[in-house]
Amino acid sequence: MEPEDGFVSGVVFNDRNGDGVRGRFEFGIRGVAVSNGRDVARTDWNGRYRLPIDGEAIIFVVKPAGFATAMGENRLPHFYYIHKPDGSPENLRFAGVPQTGPLPRSVDFPLTRQRESDRFDVLLFGDPQPYTTKEVDFLAHDIVDELIGSEAAFGITLGDIVGDDLSLFEAVNRVVSQVGIPWYSIPGNHDMNYLAESDLHADESFERVYGPGTYAFEYGPVHFVMLDDVVFGGPVIGGSVSQNYAGGLSSDQLAFVHNYLEDVPRDHLVVVAMHIPLQGTVPQLDVPERRELFAILEDHPHNLSIAAHMHTQGHRFFGESDGYGGSEPHHQLIQGTTSGSWWLGTPDELGIPDAMMRDGTPNGYSILRLDGNDYSIRYKVARRPADYQMNISAPDVIDADAAEATEILVNVFAGSERTHVKMRLGRTGEWVRLDRVERPAPYFVEQKRREGNGPRPLPPADPSSHLWAGNIPAETGRGTWTLEVRATDMFGRTDTAYRTLRVR
């Protein structure tokens, strides 16, 4: 039976022996979503699907709850079939997709059963972005080493897997695979072929390694929608680092999200992942089609989006004035980066750069905990204890007569407008509420001053969106005091930090 002109078809089946080939007693699975990046078909009682196809396309299965897709090299899920009969254009700087030839008679997807809990963790990496193999080593020793053996269900990299040198994809994958869990990725602006003629072929190298940039998968009762929201603006002479891109979503991507979510139960959680945040001040930091996306998400009241790109950390809450009409504001996490400030800064005793982000957040990763249709997020600073969640800026010595005028600044790395921060002096002191302010983190500014004009200095400071200020209580007596700070986040967790200071 030859493929039908203009259509692709196949079977999603239960691969009981895990060999990837459909055997006699390996039956089709009903109700599984398969997509061409726009249309979504659900498999019938026999596990069969049929989709339109026009020229090049990537056909992918949406991994259903309770099943696993085939696992490719370096624990990369293989859930797709790339149809590029002639392969990628030859004038790309980095290798693209080889010729795939004619469309097969049947494009089948094997799935194997696996146990999935309603409660699970996901590791979130923002912008690992190594520009050299040495920086891949920084990623390994600063981030990955402490995660080996993680019990998280899987990990997600939110774009900028590498820094322009796409030949480093494999090196990064080999390192991240040591964590020992499946790993999903979406492309960022530094993952593009800069010699591509248009956005159509800018992701050819990404697709060769990772598959489609826009897709979805399910784990337990949670639906993950992965969106390539980087629009390439055209070739760059010499293939140099490019700023010729903008944020955006195509009509095909929006149609895919709508078509997929149409059959998703309203009481399930939908997590949308992207590289560029939904709203910014310039095209490179903005997604103009966010209102169209919001209109789709409004029908699914349990939702969250996650992005990276900024090399700072923050939270946005979108309401009616932003075009989101849901009953509760839409929450977007802007994930801090594993590379921090692009692996810049003074190396420590192990040779790993300081890499602190411009808002005073140390580099690291997040743990997204899912529990049914509820979630929480916990930031983890690289190579620091899990309870290191804030930095207190205060003088070592305070004059008693000037105590009331002495300001304390607290940077809560994962703080938001929904975080509450308070402090007290001594174990019996009165609690003082701190106010959220937007300024550069003073210790980042001091670190910049100390490093001077080093070979790889940190970037200039940016105002922090998670900084709180307050003053020492009046009439503080002379002596040595313990300053205690408590920060309660939007998920109801309270973290405590201390700083000793002397009043003379």
Name residue 78's beta-bridge partners.
Answer: 70
Tell me the pLDDT of the chain averaged across its residues. Answer: 95
Can 7-110 and 390-503 be said to share one CATH topology? yes
Chain segment 214-228, per-residue pLDDT in tens:
999 999 999 999 999
Contacts of 369 (CB under 8 A, 6+ apart): 119, 120, 121, 122, 375, 376, 377, 378
Q: Please report the pLDDT score of residue 454 as a whole number.
A: 78
Q: Please report the pLDDT score of residue 242 as a whole number.
A: 61
Contacts of 302 (CB under 8 A, 6+ apart): 267, 268, 269, 270, 373, 374
Hey, how many other C-beta atoms are within 10 angstroms of the C-beta on 451? 16
Q: Is the pLDDT of residue 57 over 80?
A: yes
Mean pLDDT of the 386-411 span: 91
Mean pLDDT of the 489-501 span: 97
Mean pLDDT of the 182-197 span: 95
Buried/exposed code over 312-325 (b: 16+ C-beta within 10 A; e: otherwise)? bbbbbebeeebbbe
Chain segment 83-128, per-residue pLDDT in tens:
999 999 988 889 999 999 999 999 999 999 999 999 999 999 999 9
Mean pLDDT of the 302-313 span: 98
Exposed, middle or buried by CB within 10 Å (0-12, 13-18, 19+), for 272? Answer: buried
Q: Is the pLDDT of residue 1 over 80?
A: no
Chain segment 156-181, per-residue pLDDT in tens:
999 999 999 999 999 999 999 999 99
| List of E strands, 72-133 | 77-78, 80-83, 109-113, 119-125
Q: Please report the pLDDT score of residue 227 as a whole number.
A: 98
Q: Is the pLDDT of residue 241 over 60?
A: no
pLDDT tier, 238 (very low <50, low <70, confident <90, very high otherwise):
low
| Statement: the pTM of the whole predicted model exceeds 0.85 | yes
In CATH, 7-110 is 2.60.40.1120: yes
> How far apart, in whole angstroms, are the C-alpha atoms of residue 430 and residue 428?
7
> How far apart, in whole angstroms, are the C-alpha atoms of residue 127 and residue 336?
8
Instruction: Give the residue, 342 or 502, on which the prediction is more confident.
Output: 342
Instruction: Give the residue, 144 or 475, on which the prediction is more confident.
Output: 144
Q: Please report the pLDDT score of residue 4 as a whole number.
A: 75
Q: Is the pLDDT of residue 239 over 60?
A: no
pLDDT tier, 402 (very low <50, low <70, confident <90, very high otherwise):
confident
Contacts of 262 (CB under 8 A, 6+ apart): 40
Q: Please report the pLDDT score of residue 283 as a whole number.
A: 78
Of all residues in the chain, the percent with pLDDT exceeding 70 is: 98
Specify the DSSP element, H or E, that contains 205.
Answer: helix 204-210
Mean pLDDT of the 474-503 span: 93
Kindly report the CATH number that applies to the domain delimited by 390-503: 2.60.40.10
Q: Is the pLDDT of residue 236 over 90?
A: no
In the chain, where the domains are located? 7-110, 390-503
